[in-house]
Amino acid sequence: MDYTTHNLAFKVKKLLRYIKLYGLERTLVKVKGQYHMNKRYQPMPAEPKTPARGGHVGLIGCGNFQFSNIAYYLHKKYGRVIRGAMDVDVNRAISLYEEYGLRYFTADAMQVISDPAIKLIYIASNHATHTEYAIDALKAGKDVHIEKPHCVSEDQLRRLLKAMDTSDGRVLSIGYNRPLSKIGKSVKRYLEAQSGAAMLNWFVAGHELDPEHWYFQEAEGGRILGNLCHWTDFSYQMIDDGGRYPLKIIPARSDKSDCDIAVSYVFGDGSIAAITFSAKGHTFEGVREKLSAHRGDVLLSMDDFKSLAVEVVDKKSKTAQLFRDHGHERSISTSYDWAMDPEHRGLTQEYVWEAGQLFLATRSALEDSRSVTVNGFADYSARASGETCLQQSDIEGASHGHD
């Protein structure tokens, strides 16, 4: 929703509510991000020549998230490290360039990718281009942070893995920030301290989007890839290594395949995760999300990444943060810190493939209204090189078919 079009009373109420949720500084950046999206330059300023020195980070895609999260946290923590920014709508690249004191802006992604002074590139363009820009950057020897989703098709996922295998660049992070938040790490720690199968139950209320929103363009992957991937990945990360596969995906939907849905996951170790995603109207405070989880003796409840209540037998505790924290700062700064460490190897092919396979198979299950079972990376990597990574046999598994 474009909040800049509402009346003054609505804007004031929104501002005050967000100050309570995020604090004054973050709220002001979010407000600037709204106006940034609509900024137009007449006449258009001349594109600056690429300077010989200054900065070592490049940005591809200059939408609201790049402006109010990635650029903001990089500038706040590391200073003027951003060198160049690119967007197909050059107005947005100019706006970000002016706000954060960059060295240049451009509408040509290859100018950023081929810039020898740039070491790390944050990719936050439209979803269908994430993989393509990442592959070009990896081939150019750049490290990359890819915002979610890191692919929109099985072909893209396969080609991304190949680029990771054959290029000098590293995939340092994918924008699944919630497990890196303070509360997300606490949830992981409490669950890991127990044994046996886990139960995870998510209820998520997302924004209602206009039917003409770009998320719904066929090439962009819809809301499963654009939104639900956050909670598929979080659930995946809460299950122990070696206990995830074979993984059965059971969908429930009505007339839409990516809004107002419920999906259940039965993991190989008997753990079950359920995600209910509702998008029926406007949520004034942004995406609302609640998690209930149970494993062994621990029972926990998380509310909007702002509070966490935990029971372990007779002991109770509750953590309530001053402000909502989805882990964006830690996700963004982790990529930067790893890029400055030449010894860090980046993400594994196993994680990149399994995280992508999970949301691609979830979309397939919902679109077809049929349960599917997927196997892990070991099954894929054992296949002959060059085969499509999500063949029908990968989705169904060796001994599991559609229900």
The answer on pLDDT for 403 being more than 70 is no
Q: What share of the chain is helix, strand, coil (3-state, %, to 5)?
A: 40, 20, 40
Alpha helices in 150-228 (DSSP H): 154-166, 182-192, 222-223
Looking at the predicted structure, is the pLDDT value of residue 398 above 90?
no
Q: What is the pLDDT of residues 15-68, one digit of tens each?
A: 998 899 999 999 999 999 999 999 999 998 888 877 878 999 999 999 999 999
Residue 64, token pair as written in the block: 């609201």
In which band, very low, low, confident or very high, does the pLDDT at 394 lie, cut at 50, 70 and 90? very low
206 sits in the region (left: phi over 0; alpha: psi -120 to 50; else beta) called: beta
* Residue-level pLDDT at 6: 76
The pTM for the full model equals 0.91
Q: In this structure, what token pair is assigned to residue 179? A: 């497990």
Query: What are the tokens at 113?
Result: 């990718």
Phi, psi (degrees; rounded to nearest 5) at 193: -75, -10
Given this model, what pLDDT does residue 59 score?
98
Per the DSSP assignment, residues forming a β-bridge with 247 are: 374
Contacts of 72 (CB under 8 A, 6+ apart): 29, 100
pLDDT at 203 exceeding the cut of 60: yes
CATH 3.30.360.10 location in the chain: 179-324+348-396
* CB-based contacts of 397, cutoff 8 Å, min separation 6: 246, 373, 374, 375, 379
Please count the other Cβ atoms lying within 10 Å of the Cβ belonging to residue 176: 24
Closest CA relative to residue 50, chosen from 130, 135, 110, 132: 110
3-174 is a CATH 3.40.50.1370 domain? no
Which residue ranges does the chain devote to CATH 3.40.50.720? 3-174
Q: Tell me how crowded residue 251 is: count the other CB atoms within 10 A of its CB.
A: 21
Distance CA(363)–CA(360), nearest Å, equals: 5
User: Would you say residue 395 has pLDDT above 50?
Assistant: no
Rounded to an integer, what distance in angstroms lies between the CA atom of residue 177 and that of residue 328? 5
Averaged over 79-95, what is the pLDDT?
97
Lowest mean pLDDT segment, chosen from 77-91, 205-219, 251-265:
205-219
Question: End-to-end alpha-carbon separation of the chain, Å?
Answer: 39
Say which CATH class 179-324+348-396 falls into: alpha beta
Percent of the chain with pLDDT over 90: 78
Of 40, 8, 15, nearest to 30 by C-alpha is 15
Q: How far apart are the C-alpha atoms of 64 and 7, rounded to whole Å?
A: 21
Distance CA 313, CA 316 (A): 8
- Per-residue DSSP letter, 63: S
